[in-house]
Amino acid sequence: MRRPLVIILALVLALAGCARTQKPVLYPNARLRQVGHEQAERDIEECRMLASQYVESTAAKDIGKGAAVGAAGGAAVGAVGGAVSGRGAGTGAAIGAATGATAGAVHGAVKQTAPSPVYKQFVNRCLRERGYDVLGWQ
């Protein structure tokens, strides 16, 4: 039973890792026309690096929290399912906890494809101070 869960988790995490993270979309104002897209991309990257240094990441916390919540919920549902199926509440709870933890961790990992609001604000302000106009993120 454990091997299929590990394979599923690995596949889902690989797909989550391929998810495109959001980035700022710039309005084509005078500053963008003056410096061009290549320089604007370098400025975006520099502002993102600065934001990463000053804004605390919540990635590990979200993944761990998702796994814990998923395990608790999965154990409860698994215990009932195990008792009903005749496997026993303990076996059902263990299977449910493992499945729930996997699903919760994946949810936490996928959630991290979108930067936090504080991170976005930091990058937006950095770019605004450099003369860019951020329309939003996508």
Per-residue pLDDT of the chain (138 residues; tens, 9 = 90+): 566 655 665 555 555 555 568 999 999 999 999 999 999 999 999 999 999 999 986 655 555 666 676 666 666 666 666 666 676 667 666 666 666 666 565 555 555 578 999 999 999 999 999 999 999 999
Inside any domain, residue 17? no
Its domain, for residue 96, covers: 63-114
**pTM for this prediction:** 0.52
For residue 5, which of 104, 77, 108, 110 has the smallest C-alpha distance? Answer: 104
The number of domains in the chain is 2
Inside any domain, residue 70? yes
Contacts of 129 (CB under 8 A, 6+ apart): none
Residues 120 and 104 in one domain: no
Burial class (CB in 10 A: 0-12, 13-18, 19+), 73: middle
Inside any domain, residue 94? yes
Residues 99 and 85 in one domain: yes
Inside any domain, residue 97? yes
